[in-house]
Amino acid sequence: MNYNKKSVEDVDVRGKRVLCRCDFNVPTKEGKITSDKRIVAALPTINYLRQHGAKVILCSHMGKPKGEFKPELSLRVVAERLSELLGVEVKMSKDVAGEDSKRLAAALQDGDVMLLENTRFEKGETKNDPALSKALAELADLFVNDAFGTAHRAHSSTAGVADYLPAVCGYLIAKEVGIMGKALAAPERPFVAILGGAKVSDKLNVINNLLEKVDTLIIGGGMAYSFLAAKGYSVGSSLLDSEKIDYCREMMQKAEKKGVKLLLPVDTVISKSFPDPIDGPVEVSTVAADAIPEGFMGLDIGEQSRRLFAEAAKAAKTVVWNGPMGVFENPTLEKGTIAVAQALADSEAVTIVGGGDSAAACEQLGFAEKITHISTGGGASLEFLEGLELPGIACLQDR
């Protein structure tokens, strides 16, 4: 995929109606937004469009209404918060691409902002229905995609609309594509990737793709036990993708053949049972990775593994990290994930953290400022690491 895409700065937006796809899928409780981080993240693109005389038409999804109007998933709360942040009234349409949207869009003046209702209230959105894509396109003269979190979805508001309008990216996608694209296409070396999380099956293609690019691949989290089992170790009652053992062997052989150093845990924190509740007390001990007793499960990497992984990360010039090293939600089982986050924060390398739990860990620990880039998209950043073409980026004009 070509990562060199045109951005809002490469086109003339003055006097034009610009349809801007954002990621306003914010968490809410009892009708109130509990975190406006995603709204704040969209402000640089919105402000640029306003300052350069565009008539701004924002759109996004929220939740999974499955093509039905659900009042609790209305974007009205987002329009209210945006109005406060921008200091201007953000007009809210009652529909996605119907008569009310057309009326409001037609009345916009340069610098005005409106927000369409939740795109997923329309059944055609997730099916990339050409009729809905065309109706959205008719509202505007130009399409800007700034929602990296949904760039891996071929939906009407993320990709389909680009069949009918010139399409460029906003600042968020430009940053994601610029930093992650360069890391994968032309990384400063040594290039180290750290993968964690529960299952090998979730990251099959990511492992395969990264082995073509990295100098060192570190595997922790629940997925490590399938690799340890593939080495012939007993893993007790640890999480195991038993159908993927042969795949793990293949990947270890591939790493050896390509001269890629593949690091697995050398020791592991074990317990007799998974914590219940997730953050409840848990009695643990640490054993060598090849000595997990029957009836015990590995739930985090041990102290030696933490040192080993941290040293590899600190020696790198580029580090990509996706997925925790253990059951990070539990205070007793968070040390492995903290050690990796700390190593990235202390590193002078280009450090890139995928979305989801790894990003949450860096933010909770106060390390976010010390990381080069924290991705705004969990699923999208994973597909990016797989080397897949992301529909919401592929549809944008090349530079």
For residues 341 and 321, give the distance between their C-alpha atoms in angstroms, rounded to a whole number. 9
* DSSP designation for 397: P
pLDDT reading at 130 higher than 80: yes
Residues annotated as part of the active site: 38, 199, 356, 379
Picking from 17, 315, 34, 341, the residue whose alpha carbon sits closest to that of residue 192 is 315
For residues 275 and 260, give the distance between their C-alpha atoms in angstroms, rounded to a whole number. 35
pLDDT average, residue stretch 256-263: 98
pLDDT reading at 137 higher than 80: yes
| Phi, psi torsion values for 28, nearest 5 degrees | -130, 155
pLDDT reading at 204 higher than 90: no
Q: Angle at CA 61, nearest 5°, toward 59 and 64?
A: 165
pLDDT, residue 203, reads 87
Tokens at 233, concatenated: 């170790």
Decide: residue 343, CB within 10 A, 0-12 exposed, 13-18 middle, 19+ buried. buried
pLDDT, residue 355, reads 66
Question: To the nearest whole percent, how much of the chain has pLDDT over 70?
Answer: 99
For residues 112 and 123, give the distance between their C-alpha atoms in angstroms, rounded to a whole number. 28
CB-based contact 227:252 (threshold 8 Å): yes
Q: Which CATH number fits domain 179-386: 3.30.540.10, 3.90.440.10, 3.40.50.1260, 3.40.50.300?
A: 3.40.50.1260
Find where tokens 């997990």 sit.
292
Tokens at 247, concatenated: 């795949």
pLDDT average, residue stretch 259-270: 98
Q: pLDDT tens, 143-157?
A: 999 999 999 999 999
Picking from 396, 347, 393, 385, the residue whose alpha carbon sits closest to that of residue 367 is 347
pLDDT reading at 1 higher than 80: no
* DSSP designation for 258: H
For residues 42 and 22, give the distance between their C-alpha atoms in angstroms, rounded to a whole number. 7
pLDDT, residue 254, reads 98
Picking from 45, 82, 340, the residue whose alpha carbon sits closest to that of residue 192 is 340
Complete DSSP assignment for 133-192: HHHHHTT-SEEEE--GGGTTS--TTTTGGGGTS-EEE-HHHHHHHHHHHHHHHS--SSEE
Complete DSSP assignment for 264-322: --SEEEEESS--SSTTS----EEEETT-PPTT-EEEEE-HHHHHHHHHHHHT-SEEEEE
pLDDT reading at 192 higher than 90: yes
Q: pLDDT tens, 302-361?
A: 999 999 999 999 999 999 999 999 999 999 999 999 999 999 999 999 999 986 788 888
Domain boundaries, the chain: 8-172, 179-386
For residues 280 and 357, give the distance between their C-alpha atoms in angstroms, rounded to a whole number. 19
For residues 333 and 275, give the distance between their C-alpha atoms in angstroms, rounded to a whole number. 10
Q: pLDDT tens, 91-116?
A: 999 999 999 999 999 999 999 999 99
pLDDT reading at 384 higher than 90: no
pLDDT band at 180 (very low <50, low <70, confident <90, very high): confident
Q: CATH assignment of 8-172?
A: 3.40.50.1260
pLDDT, residue 383, reads 85
Residue 357 or 374, more confident: 374
pLDDT, residue 302, reads 98
pLDDT reading at 380 higher than 90: no
Could you check whether 8-172 and 179-386 share the same CATH topology? yes
pLDDT reading at 285 higher than 90: yes
Find where tokens 């009345």 sit.
107
- Among 150-154, 197-201, 211-215, 283-287, which stretch is predicted with the lowest mean pLDDT? 197-201
CB-based contact 63:77 (threshold 8 Å): no
Question: CA 326 → CA 196, 270, 280, distances in Å?
Answer: 8, 11, 15
pLDDT, residue 378, reads 75
Residue type, 23: D
Give pTM, 2 decimals: 0.88
For residues 389 and 399, give the distance between their C-alpha atoms in angstroms, rounded to a whole number. 17
Picking from 78, 65, 68, 69, the residue whose alpha carbon sits closest to that of residue 31 is 78
* SS3 labels along 338-391: HHHHHHHHHCCCEEEECCCHHHHHHHHCCCHHHCCEECCCHHHHHHHHHCCCCH
Computed over every residue of the chain, the mean pLDDT equals 95
Q: pLDDT tens, 59-98?
A: 999 999 999 999 999 999 999 999 999 999 999 999 999 9
pLDDT band at 200 (very low <50, low <70, confident <90, very high): confident
